[in-house]
Structure 1
Amino acid sequence: MTIDRIPVSGGLLAVETFTGSTEPVLVVHGVSSQRMLWGWLRAAAPHLTLVAPDLRGRGDSVDVTGPSSLTQHADDLAAVVDSLGLDAVHVCGMSMGAFVAVEFAARYSSRVKSLVLVDGGVPVGPPAGLTRENVAAVFEDRIARTQQRWNNTDDYVEYLVSTSLPLLDPADPLLRHYAEHDLVDGSVRLSSAAVVSDATDVFFGDSRFQELTMPIRFLHAQWSVGADSPPMYSPHDIDALDLTSVRPLMGLDHAGTIMTSVGAAAVGSMIDEAVRSE
């Protein structure tokens, strides 16, 4: 694996490449996440070559300055593929990262061979009670983690599981590795301003999804956060889709679509299908 520091507006974006036997697949993490999100996919499908940036305001890219938005992330991804000398790539995005992938594909359609969208990217109305004015309150658990000092990784993992990752195993070494990448000197490397700005863009911005013409494969969770919670995408939303492939991930919530061996294996299979079908 290699780590590159790629110039973008406001600083240097950290991008890690995990080398496998396939052509490169650009993978884009979610709103409060970072590139170690793809550790489960790497474990489930080590043959995949993954190009994994820390988006601005997260992880090793936390100090990249300037406003954060889906458009800005898309421009950052264009800088990534240019800097790495890639012509066109398959792109997989999870959650907010799927919406970034859609924006990237719309702005730079010649650079995207196909999309694999994991519980995101497909236009959806805001959850009940969410308004432009209260986005910060709804994402309070993500923001709260940035406002306290964590004495050790175990405490931080327990916090993650008790808030946004209730179905994950605190003893999972991949989850610990993920958490360790968040922390430096007891502080979480996550910009709360970027979280609020990007979440607002996801739910209240203008989607360019209908402009896309490349193959689109979509995986969606049975639940949102925890067992029996309402899913992000309703059956009505799913029935209205006309995509290359749509796969439900039963028994998994939003995080579990990629942060479990079962979810990661399903995503890896979908990426394999996209690469083989080129």
Structure 2
Amino acid sequence: MFVPVEGGDLAVETHDGDTAPVLAIHGVSGTRKLWNWVAAHNVTLITPDLRGRGDSASVPGSSVRQHADDMLRVLDALELSSATVCGMSMGGYVAVDLAVRHPDRVSELVLVDGGLPMLLHSQLTPETVQADVDSQKPAHERTWTVDEHLAAQAKANSLIDVTDPLIREYYAADLTDDGHLRLSLETSAADATDVFFGTSRWQELTVPTWLVHAEWSIGPDSPPAYTVEDAADYQSKLTVLREPVLIKGVDHAGTVMTHPGAAIVAEVLRQAQK
């Protein structure tokens, strides 16, 4: 379905399951296909393509607050007065903004390797973020086959399982019919800047919140987004934060893009709704 928002229409997919509805918000370079692994665990999901991505790539403008406003429109379109909200990576920051400004619309909040400030972000500057975006331009200017795109991703991260059909479906959704990447670099750069250097209101959260975090960031043995100590520190500072859940043996993407990671996220969503 397509949901009208400021500037265009957001593509939204739903997955039927045996839970209460979960609004699932993907990360900075993802699409709604990110949640297919969690959907496989019979979780009822509402999965939008955020503006500038996937089938919402033509919708202009971006910021964490704008995405959160878009998510309100999605809930309204589906006539949901409230829902469990789950955000992964940047989607976690969108989910936090939504929960802080509209706590009546968020019954439970599940953050997957995102949403709370990361130590890694303190090492970044606007210049390094822009340099990273500039480095992606050649990939956006060329055309790709699905096999080429998948091979490039697997080369960058040895944990990607190229034999998993859901992996192929996920990366196929990145491409237009003529083989270009369906991601606005301008939008992703604006979102990354907002996440890294904007002001988060996480300390104002009042809804029951869960944090699920990965053992690594990108690839085996890489420094994680949140250490066990980081997670414990957040729990001590945020009274609504339940016991954090560590997923061992996966990196940032593997929290939801692997079957073991998705199984744990799905179980946390079920526990949150009890």
Return the alpha-carbon distance in structure 1 between the equivalents of residues 133 and 247 of structure 2.
24
2:14 to 17, 38, 44: 17
210-219 vs 122-131, which moves further: 122-131
**What is the match of residue 246 of structure 1?**
244
Return the alpha-carbon distance in structure 1 between the equivalents of residues 203 and 147 of structure 2.
43
Instruction: Give yes or no for the alignment of 1:80 onto 2:77.
Output: no
SS in 2 for 1:269: helix
Instruction: Give yes or no for the alignment of 1:90 onto 2:84.
Output: yes
Return the alpha-carbon distance in structure 1 between the equivalents of residues 148 and 31 of structure 2.
19
User: Does the 8 A contact of 2:12 with 2:48 survive in 1?
Assistant: yes
1:121 to 94, 98, 115: 115
Listed as ranges, the gaps of 5+ residues in structure 1 are: none
Distance 1:239 1:140, change over 3 A: farther
**What is the match of residue 50 of structure 1?**
45
Counterpart AA for 2:175: L
Distance 1:129 1:205, change over 3 A: same
Listed as ranges, the gaps of 5+ residues in structure 2 are: 236-240
Return the alpha-carbon distance in structure 2 between the equivalents of residues 78 and 155 of structure 1.
37
User: Does the 8 A contact of 1:92 with 1:115 survive in 2?
Assistant: yes
Instruction: Give yes or no for the alignment of 1:157 onto 2:150.
Output: yes
SS in 2 for 1:52: strand
CA-CA distance at 1:140 after TM superposition: 5.6
User: Does the 8 A contact of 2:215 with 2:227 survive in 1?
Assistant: no
1:260 to 241, 258, 263: 258
Counterpart AA for 2:271: E
Return the alpha-carbon distance in structure 2 between the equivalents of residues 273 and 141 of structure 1.
41
TM-score normalized by the length of structure 1 = 0.92
Distance 1:143 1:252, change over 3 A: farther
Counterpart AA for 2:32: R
CA-CA distance at 1:182 after TM superposition: 1.1
2:179 to 176, 186, 202: 186
Distance 1:141 1:244, change over 3 A: farther
The runs of at least 4 consecutive aligned structure 1 residues that moved more than 4 Å come to 139-144
CA-CA distance at 1:9 after TM superposition: 0.6
**What is the match of residue 131 of structure 1?**
125
TM-score normalized by the length of structure 2 = 0.94
SS in 2 for 1:206: coil
**What is the match of residue 238 of structure 2?**
none
214-223 vs 241-250, which moves further: 241-250
Work out the number of aligned pairs and report it. Answer: 268
Return the alpha-carbon distance in structure 2 between the equivalents of residues 234 and 131 of structure 1.
22
RMSD: 1.5
Return the alpha-carbon distance in structure 2 between the equivalents of residues 226 and 207 of structure 1.
27
CA-CA distance at 1:251 after TM superposition: 1.1
CA-CA distance at 1:141 after TM superposition: 6.2
**What is the match of residue 111 of structure 1?**
105
SS in 1 for 2:273: helix
Return the alpha-carbon distance in structure 1 between the equivalents of residues 51 and 196 of structure 2.
19
Q: Percent identity?
A: 48
